[in-house]
Amino acid sequence: MPTFIAADGTPLAYHLRGEGEPLAVLPGGPMRASAYLGDLGGLTAHRRLALLDLRGTGDSAVPADPATYRCDRMVEDVEAWRAHMGLEHMDLLAHSAGAALAMLYAARRPHRVRRLVLITPNPSALGMRATPEDRLAAAALRTKEPWFEDAFPAFRGWLAGGADFDDVFLPFFYGRWDDTARAHTDAEPEQTNEEAGERYFADGAFTPDATRAALATLTAPVLVYAGELDGGPRPGLARRAAQAFPNAEFAVQPGAGHYPWLDDPESFLSRTRAFLDRSADSAPPSAD
Protein backbone atom coordinates (compact mmCIF):
# COMPACT_ATOMS: atom_id res chain seq x y z
CA MET A 1 0.00 0.00 0.00
CA PRO A 2 1.75 3.21 -1.15
CA THR A 3 1.57 6.38 0.93
CA PHE A 4 2.53 10.03 0.59
CA ILE A 5 2.53 13.08 2.85
CA ALA A 6 0.00 15.88 2.40
CA ALA A 7 1.05 19.51 2.68
CA ASP A 8 -0.06 19.66 6.32
CA GLY A 9 1.96 16.56 7.22
CA THR A 10 -0.92 14.07 7.19
CA PRO A 11 0.10 10.64 5.78
CA LEU A 12 -2.35 9.56 3.08
CA ALA A 13 -2.70 6.14 1.49
CA TYR A 14 -3.90 4.86 -1.83
CA HIS A 15 -4.42 1.42 -3.33
CA LEU A 16 -3.26 0.13 -6.70
CA ARG A 17 -5.39 -2.46 -8.48
CA GLY A 18 -5.25 -3.83 -12.00
CA GLU A 19 -3.00 -3.34 -15.00
CA GLY A 20 -2.62 -0.76 -17.71
CA GLU A 21 -2.60 3.00 -17.93
CA PRO A 22 -3.19 4.76 -14.57
CA LEU A 23 -6.65 5.98 -13.61
CA ALA A 24 -6.85 8.08 -10.45
CA VAL A 25 -10.06 7.47 -8.49
CA LEU A 26 -11.72 9.62 -5.81
CA PRO A 27 -14.33 7.94 -3.56
CA GLY A 28 -17.61 9.38 -2.35
CA GLY A 29 -19.61 8.72 0.77
CA PRO A 30 -18.87 11.42 1.64
CA MET A 31 -15.68 10.26 3.34
CA ARG A 32 -16.01 6.53 2.70
CA ALA A 33 -12.88 4.43 2.28
CA SER A 34 -12.11 3.58 -1.33
CA ALA A 35 -12.62 -0.16 -0.69
CA TYR A 36 -16.32 0.19 -1.54
CA LEU A 37 -15.44 0.88 -5.17
CA GLY A 38 -14.10 -2.66 -5.63
CA ASP A 39 -12.81 -3.19 -9.16
CA LEU A 40 -15.34 -0.75 -10.66
CA GLY A 41 -17.16 -3.36 -12.67
CA GLY A 42 -14.00 -5.02 -13.96
CA LEU A 43 -12.21 -1.84 -14.99
CA THR A 44 -9.07 -3.23 -13.34
CA ALA A 45 -8.68 -5.56 -16.31
CA HIS A 46 -8.07 -2.52 -18.52
CA ARG A 47 -6.70 0.19 -16.25
CA ARG A 48 -4.40 0.39 -13.25
CA LEU A 49 -6.67 2.00 -10.68
CA ALA A 50 -5.12 4.26 -8.06
CA LEU A 51 -7.82 4.60 -5.40
CA LEU A 52 -7.25 7.34 -2.85
CA ASP A 53 -8.34 6.99 0.77
CA LEU A 54 -9.25 10.56 1.68
CA ARG A 55 -7.79 11.85 4.93
CA GLY A 56 -9.29 10.16 7.96
CA THR A 57 -10.66 7.22 5.95
CA GLY A 58 -9.42 3.73 5.14
CA ASP A 59 -5.65 3.50 5.54
CA SER A 60 -5.08 7.27 5.54
CA ALA A 61 -4.26 9.02 8.79
CA VAL A 62 -6.57 11.26 10.78
CA PRO A 63 -5.47 14.90 10.35
CA ALA A 64 -4.54 17.10 13.30
CA ASP A 65 -7.12 19.68 12.20
CA PRO A 66 -10.60 18.26 11.53
CA ALA A 67 -11.48 21.42 9.58
CA THR A 68 -9.36 19.95 6.76
CA TYR A 69 -12.14 17.45 6.09
CA ARG A 70 -13.96 20.22 4.21
CA CYS A 71 -14.09 19.38 0.52
CA ASP A 72 -12.19 22.40 -0.79
CA ARG A 73 -9.42 21.89 1.76
CA MET A 74 -8.62 18.51 0.18
CA VAL A 75 -7.95 19.82 -3.33
CA GLU A 76 -4.28 20.14 -2.43
CA ASP A 77 -4.27 16.52 -1.22
CA VAL A 78 -5.23 15.49 -4.76
CA GLU A 79 -2.49 17.68 -6.22
CA ALA A 80 0.12 16.24 -3.82
CA TRP A 81 -1.07 12.74 -4.80
CA ARG A 82 -0.69 13.48 -8.51
CA ALA A 83 2.82 14.81 -8.01
CA HIS A 84 3.72 11.80 -5.84
CA MET A 85 2.57 9.43 -8.60
CA GLY A 86 4.73 11.32 -11.10
CA LEU A 87 1.85 12.08 -13.48
CA GLU A 88 2.18 15.23 -15.57
CA HIS A 89 -1.57 15.07 -16.09
CA MET A 90 -4.04 12.35 -15.22
CA ASP A 91 -7.26 10.63 -16.06
CA LEU A 92 -9.48 11.18 -13.04
CA LEU A 93 -12.65 9.30 -12.07
CA ALA A 94 -14.81 10.34 -9.13
CA HIS A 95 -17.98 8.92 -7.62
CA SER A 96 -20.83 10.72 -5.87
CA ALA A 97 -19.52 13.22 -3.28
CA GLY A 98 -16.03 12.64 -4.64
CA ALA A 99 -17.17 14.35 -7.83
CA ALA A 100 -17.49 17.64 -5.94
CA LEU A 101 -13.82 17.35 -4.99
CA ALA A 102 -12.91 16.40 -8.56
CA MET A 103 -14.72 19.47 -9.91
CA LEU A 104 -12.87 21.75 -7.51
CA TYR A 105 -9.58 20.14 -8.48
CA ALA A 106 -10.31 20.52 -12.20
CA ALA A 107 -11.24 24.17 -11.63
CA ARG A 108 -8.03 24.86 -9.74
CA ARG A 109 -5.66 22.65 -11.77
CA PRO A 110 -7.25 22.30 -15.24
CA HIS A 111 -3.92 21.62 -16.96
CA ARG A 112 -3.43 18.52 -14.77
CA VAL A 113 -6.63 16.80 -15.94
CA ARG A 114 -6.50 14.80 -19.17
CA ARG A 115 -9.93 13.15 -18.88
CA LEU A 116 -12.59 13.45 -16.18
CA VAL A 117 -15.27 10.85 -15.39
CA LEU A 118 -18.00 11.81 -12.92
CA ILE A 119 -20.11 8.84 -11.79
CA THR A 120 -23.55 9.66 -10.29
CA PRO A 121 -21.97 12.96 -9.24
CA ASN A 122 -22.92 15.25 -6.40
CA PRO A 123 -22.88 18.66 -8.14
CA SER A 124 -22.66 20.82 -5.01
CA ALA A 125 -19.53 22.51 -6.34
CA LEU A 126 -21.74 23.95 -9.09
CA GLY A 127 -24.35 25.22 -6.65
CA MET A 128 -26.69 22.31 -7.43
CA ARG A 129 -28.04 19.67 -5.08
CA ALA A 130 -30.51 16.82 -5.28
CA THR A 131 -33.72 17.78 -3.48
CA PRO A 132 -36.05 15.58 -1.41
CA GLU A 133 -38.52 15.89 -4.28
CA ASP A 134 -35.89 14.52 -6.67
CA ARG A 135 -35.25 11.56 -4.43
CA LEU A 136 -38.94 10.81 -3.92
CA ALA A 137 -39.61 11.03 -7.67
CA ALA A 138 -36.84 8.48 -8.30
CA ALA A 139 -38.14 6.26 -5.51
CA ALA A 140 -41.61 6.34 -7.02
CA LEU A 141 -40.22 4.52 -10.07
CA ARG A 142 -39.79 1.42 -7.91
CA THR A 143 -43.45 0.71 -7.08
CA LYS A 144 -43.28 -2.84 -8.44
CA GLU A 145 -40.48 -3.87 -6.09
CA PRO A 146 -41.58 -6.22 -3.27
CA TRP A 147 -39.93 -4.00 -0.66
CA PHE A 148 -41.47 -0.72 -1.89
CA GLU A 149 -44.55 -0.68 0.36
CA ASP A 150 -42.46 -0.71 3.54
CA ALA A 151 -39.57 1.36 2.22
CA PHE A 152 -41.32 4.35 0.67
CA PRO A 153 -43.09 5.78 3.77
CA ALA A 154 -39.89 5.46 5.80
CA PHE A 155 -37.90 7.16 3.05
CA ARG A 156 -40.42 9.98 2.77
CA GLY A 157 -40.36 10.50 6.54
CA TRP A 158 -36.56 10.65 6.62
CA LEU A 159 -36.40 13.12 3.74
CA ALA A 160 -38.97 15.31 5.48
CA GLY A 161 -36.79 15.40 8.58
CA GLY A 162 -39.35 13.68 10.78
CA ALA A 163 -37.72 10.26 11.03
CA ASP A 164 -34.31 8.70 11.48
CA PHE A 165 -32.38 6.94 8.74
CA ASP A 166 -33.80 3.43 8.34
CA ASP A 167 -32.12 0.49 6.63
CA VAL A 168 -35.50 -0.47 5.18
CA PHE A 169 -35.09 2.11 2.39
CA LEU A 170 -31.52 1.22 1.43
CA PRO A 171 -32.78 -0.59 -1.69
CA PHE A 172 -33.60 2.78 -3.25
CA PHE A 173 -29.88 3.42 -3.66
CA TYR A 174 -29.34 0.33 -5.82
CA GLY A 175 -30.77 -0.71 -9.14
CA ARG A 176 -30.86 -4.32 -7.98
CA TRP A 177 -31.45 -5.23 -4.34
CA ASP A 178 -29.56 -8.52 -4.30
CA ASP A 179 -26.86 -10.18 -2.21
CA THR A 180 -24.18 -8.01 -3.80
CA ALA A 181 -26.03 -4.82 -2.88
CA ARG A 182 -26.68 -6.07 0.67
CA ALA A 183 -23.02 -6.88 1.22
CA HIS A 184 -22.04 -3.52 -0.21
CA THR A 185 -24.27 -1.57 2.15
CA ASP A 186 -23.42 -3.77 5.15
CA ALA A 187 -19.80 -2.67 4.78
CA GLU A 188 -20.60 1.05 4.74
CA PRO A 189 -20.64 1.86 8.49
CA GLU A 190 -17.15 0.48 9.07
CA GLN A 191 -15.81 2.18 5.94
CA THR A 192 -17.21 5.66 6.63
CA ASN A 193 -15.85 8.42 8.84
CA GLU A 194 -19.10 10.04 9.93
CA GLU A 195 -17.48 13.05 11.62
CA ALA A 196 -15.50 13.78 8.48
CA GLY A 197 -18.59 13.31 6.34
CA GLU A 198 -20.45 15.94 8.36
CA ARG A 199 -17.65 18.44 7.73
CA TYR A 200 -17.20 17.66 4.02
CA PHE A 201 -19.96 20.02 2.83
CA ALA A 202 -19.43 22.63 5.57
CA ASP A 203 -20.17 26.28 4.93
CA GLY A 204 -17.54 27.89 2.73
CA ALA A 205 -16.62 24.71 0.89
CA PHE A 206 -18.00 25.92 -2.43
CA THR A 207 -17.99 29.09 -4.51
CA PRO A 208 -20.18 27.98 -7.42
CA ASP A 209 -19.85 31.07 -9.60
CA ALA A 210 -16.06 30.97 -9.51
CA THR A 211 -16.01 27.22 -10.05
CA ARG A 212 -18.33 27.45 -13.04
CA ALA A 213 -16.21 30.22 -14.55
CA ALA A 214 -13.05 28.14 -14.15
CA LEU A 215 -14.62 24.96 -15.50
CA ALA A 216 -15.89 26.83 -18.55
CA THR A 217 -12.26 26.97 -19.70
CA LEU A 218 -11.52 23.28 -19.07
CA THR A 219 -10.42 21.66 -22.32
CA ALA A 220 -10.31 18.07 -21.02
CA PRO A 221 -13.09 15.71 -22.14
CA VAL A 222 -15.64 15.02 -19.41
CA LEU A 223 -18.10 12.14 -19.02
CA VAL A 224 -21.04 12.67 -16.64
CA TYR A 225 -22.60 9.29 -15.94
CA ALA A 226 -26.00 8.87 -14.29
CA GLY A 227 -28.14 5.96 -13.15
CA GLU A 228 -31.69 5.83 -14.49
CA LEU A 229 -33.13 5.07 -11.02
CA ASP A 230 -30.79 7.21 -8.95
CA GLY A 231 -32.31 10.03 -6.94
CA GLY A 232 -29.11 11.82 -6.11
CA PRO A 233 -28.60 12.96 -8.79
CA ARG A 234 -31.52 12.16 -11.03
CA PRO A 235 -30.52 12.03 -14.70
CA GLY A 236 -31.92 15.50 -15.37
CA LEU A 237 -29.77 17.06 -12.67
CA ALA A 238 -26.71 15.17 -13.88
CA ARG A 239 -27.36 16.43 -17.41
CA ARG A 240 -27.49 20.02 -16.16
CA ALA A 241 -24.20 19.45 -14.35
CA ALA A 242 -22.66 18.24 -17.60
CA GLN A 243 -23.57 21.53 -19.24
CA ALA A 244 -21.06 23.30 -16.98
CA PHE A 245 -18.24 21.75 -19.02
CA PRO A 246 -17.46 22.84 -22.59
CA ASN A 247 -16.23 19.40 -23.68
CA ALA A 248 -18.68 17.06 -21.95
CA GLU A 249 -20.84 14.12 -22.80
CA PHE A 250 -23.65 12.63 -20.78
CA ALA A 251 -24.79 9.04 -20.36
CA VAL A 252 -27.53 7.25 -18.42
CA GLN A 253 -27.25 3.58 -17.49
CA PRO A 254 -30.68 1.93 -17.70
CA GLY A 255 -31.89 0.27 -14.51
CA ALA A 256 -28.99 1.58 -12.44
CA GLY A 257 -29.02 3.30 -9.08
CA HIS A 258 -26.26 5.18 -7.30
CA TYR A 259 -23.67 2.42 -7.82
CA PRO A 260 -23.99 1.52 -11.52
CA TRP A 261 -20.91 -0.71 -11.62
CA LEU A 262 -22.72 -3.08 -9.23
CA ASP A 263 -26.07 -3.02 -11.01
CA ASP A 264 -24.76 -3.93 -14.48
CA PRO A 265 -20.97 -4.26 -14.59
CA GLU A 266 -20.88 -5.00 -18.33
CA SER A 267 -22.81 -1.85 -19.27
CA PHE A 268 -20.75 0.27 -16.92
CA LEU A 269 -17.47 -1.12 -18.21
CA SER A 270 -18.43 -0.76 -21.86
CA ARG A 271 -19.44 2.89 -21.54
CA THR A 272 -16.59 4.07 -19.34
CA ARG A 273 -13.98 2.23 -21.41
CA ALA A 274 -15.30 3.77 -24.61
CA PHE A 275 -14.77 7.19 -23.10
CA LEU A 276 -11.39 6.50 -21.52
CA ASP A 277 -9.98 4.80 -24.60
CA ARG A 278 -10.96 7.62 -26.92
CA SER A 279 -8.28 10.13 -27.82
CA ALA A 280 -8.39 13.15 -25.54
CA ASP A 281 -8.35 15.25 -28.71
CA SER A 282 -11.55 13.70 -30.10
CA ALA A 283 -14.74 15.71 -29.90
CA PRO A 284 -17.43 13.98 -27.81
CA PRO A 285 -21.18 14.09 -28.31
CA SER A 286 -22.73 17.23 -26.85
CA ALA A 287 -24.04 17.15 -23.28
CA ASP A 288 -27.20 18.71 -24.68
Report field, pTM of the whole predicted structure over 0.85: yes
Answer yes or no: are the C-beta atoms of 89 and 43 closer than 8 Å. Answer: no
Bridge partners (DSSP) of residue 192 are 32
Question: Can you give the C-alpha Rg of the chain in angstroms?
Answer: 18
Q: Are strands 90-95 and 113-119 parallel, antiparallel or unpaired?
A: parallel
Helix %, strand %, coil % for the chain, to 5?
Answer: 45, 15, 40
Q: Give the mean pLDDT per block of 10 residues along the chain (288 residues).
A: 97 97 98 98 97 98 98 98 98 98 98 98 97 98 98 97 95 98 98 98 98 97 98 98 98 98 98 88 47
Output the pLDDT for position 279.
61
Q: What is the phi/psi pair of residue 40, to 5°?
A: 50, 55
pLDDT at 288: 47
The predicted structure's pLDDT at residue 286: 43
Please choose, from the candidates 256, 98, 76, 96, the residue with its C-alpha nearest in 3D space to the C-alpha of residue 172: 256
Residue type, 183: A
Spell out the residues 6+ positions from residue 96 whose beta carbon is closer than 8 angstroms to its own: 28, 29, 30, 119, 120, 121, 122, 258
Q: What pLDDT score does 278 carry? A: 85
**C-alpha triplet 250, 82, 206: angle, nearest 5°:** 55
Confidence at residue 283, expressed as pLDDT on a 0 to 100 scale:
45
